[in-house]
């Protein structure tokens, strides 16, 4: 068995942050039942361009492997009835919505504890469920700006820059996954569930880490650095070689001494201006231009031929294609393939979260589910018979009732591929 095969998660998730977090749990064996609102076309991630069609996209495939999908409108009395039955059988209710929405939808512990006293209600929101910004929508770009990230990203004197990836979203997903597992552990130990009030804002601010400590304690003012240099360790930055770029980092004094040997400039290590971390930091304006001139005298490969054997932290600066084709990427089995009726063979990335001995098989991978493809199976698992399903359908539990679909299984009836996607009723915390 995989580590989380005895965990059931009912998820009201959409876009990136929420689905990213739950996907790692699904990869570890958790049953993640993705509830999709038929009135809004399901997870908005299904429609993110440019590689999108019908009710699916390669964006969606990136965040929803190994999950199940059911259509359910929990705002209706009938849909709420089904939702409560799911809660009775689940370990956790997981969501990524705006901070005021969990209360409106009734998905907090206070709302569900009478249904299941052990339920863990994990809410990843933009700004949390308390505080002056709780009702604001939160997206990665917004959080990178608000939390100060953009002020320290990019070249000095240039425009503020966001990180190239949605790191607030993805970090928020990891934070939510950790909290959810901790909540389930506590509930199984104590017999009582809880809320997990998580936010992208908290995540982004907390990731300021040591620059924040320096600022709060000593008044340090973080700034953008030349060629992505470390704020205090010198040299530790990107350097331009004769034919490209590489990163070299001297995070320990021994690496600095080795670097001077590889460069044929042992005299630099003996120079009192560059003797220690603090000395090199004070004199970086002298040392860094000197090193930059030296790095331009050889190609990237020529430098790596000397740096790798010396075990100095270094790497060529890959483009995305280079990272995905790197032999280590392939050796770690990070690229997986699934078959998709629209996109054919989809090559995407496996979760880095692994439990087991090194090199062990990390298990099969299923593609992202079609919208509502598992509704029938989930309802059958709840013990619903055909008559009850028909009654729920007529009551709008799975979307506006359509007489033409009365005898059609929900896995086929869910919602049409030509659905018009209205604006979501509440903005997701991406």
- Residues annotated as catalytic are 230
**Cα–Cα dist 394/403, whole Å:** 8
Residue 107, token pair as written in the block: 């998905």
- Assess contact for 33 and 70: CB atoms under 8 A: yes
Quick one: how far is CA 353 from the chain centroid?
Answer: 12
Q: What is the dihedral of CA 7, 11, 17, 21, to 10 degrees?
A: 10
Can you say whether the dihedral through the CA atoms of 39, 44, 45, 47 is positive or negative?
positive
- Assess contact for 201 and 258: CB atoms under 8 A: no
H or E stretch covering 230: none
* Partners of 399 in the β-ladder: 397
DSSP 12: E
Please choose, from the candidates 87, 108, 92, 118, the residue with its C-alpha nearest in 3D space to the C-alpha of residue 189.
118
User: What separation in angstroms does the CA of 288 have from each of 227, 235, 240?
Assistant: 10, 7, 12
Strand 8-12 to 92-95 pairing = parallel
Block residue for tokens 């090559």:
347
Taking the chain, what is the end-to-end CA distance rounded to the nearest angstrom? 31
Strand 194-199 to 120-125 pairing = parallel
Strand 194-199 to 56-57 pairing = unpaired
H or E stretch covering 84: helix 77-89
């Amino acid at each position: 068995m995989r580590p989380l095969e005895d965990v059931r998660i009912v998820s009201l998730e959409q876009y990136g942050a929420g689905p990213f977090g739950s996907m790692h749990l699904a990869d570890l064996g958790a049953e993640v039942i993705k509830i999709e609102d038929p009135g809004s076309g399901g997870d908005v991630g299904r429609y993110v361009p440019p590689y999108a069609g019908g009710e699916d996209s390669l964006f969606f495939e990136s965040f929803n492997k190994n999950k199940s999908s059911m259509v359910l409108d929990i705002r209706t009395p009938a849909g709420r009835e089904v939702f409560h039955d799911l809660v009775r059988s689940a370990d956790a209710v997981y969501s990524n919505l705006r901070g005021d929405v969990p209360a409106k939808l009734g998905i907090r512990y206070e709302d569900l504890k009478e249904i299941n006293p052990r339920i863990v209600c994990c809410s990843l929101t933009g700004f949390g469920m308390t505080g002056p910004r709780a009702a604001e929508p939160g997206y990665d770009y917004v959080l990178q700006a608000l939390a100060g990230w953009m002020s320290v990203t990019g070249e000095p004197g240039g425009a503020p820059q966001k990180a190239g990836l949605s790191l607030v979203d993805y970090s928020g997903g990891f934070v939510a996954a950790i909290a959810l597992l901790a909540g389930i552990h506590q509930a199984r130990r104590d017999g009582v569930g809880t809320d997990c009030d998580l936010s992208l804002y908290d995540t982004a601010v907390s990731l300021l880490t040591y620059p924040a400590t320096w600022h709060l304690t000593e008044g340090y003012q973080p700034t953008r650095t030349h060629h992505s240099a470390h704020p205090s360790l010198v040299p530790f930055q990107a350097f331009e070689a004769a034919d490209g770029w590489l990163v070299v980092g001297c995070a320990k004094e021994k690496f600095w001494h080795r670097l001077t040997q590889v460069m044929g400039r042992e005299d630099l290590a003996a120079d009192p201006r560059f003797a220690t971390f603090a000395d090199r930091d004070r004199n970086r304006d002298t040392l860094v231009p000197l090193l930059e001139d030296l790095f331009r005298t050889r190609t990237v490969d020529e430098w790596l031929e000397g740096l790798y054997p010396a075990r100095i932290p270094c790497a060529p600066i890959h483009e995305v294609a280079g990272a995905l084709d790197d032999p280590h990427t392939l050796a770690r089995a990070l690229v997986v393939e699934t078959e998709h009726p629209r996109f054919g063979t989809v090559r995407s990335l496996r979760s880095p979260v692994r439990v087991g001995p090194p090199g062990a098989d990390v298990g099969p991978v299923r593609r992202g589910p079609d919208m509502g493809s598992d509704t029938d199976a989930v309802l059958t698992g709840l013990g619903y018979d055909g008559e009850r399903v028909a009654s729920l359908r007529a009551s709008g539990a799975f979307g506006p009732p359509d007489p033409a679909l009365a005898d059609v299984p929900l896995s086929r009836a869910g919602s049409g591929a030509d659905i018009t996607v209205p604006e979501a009723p509440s903005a997701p915390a991406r």
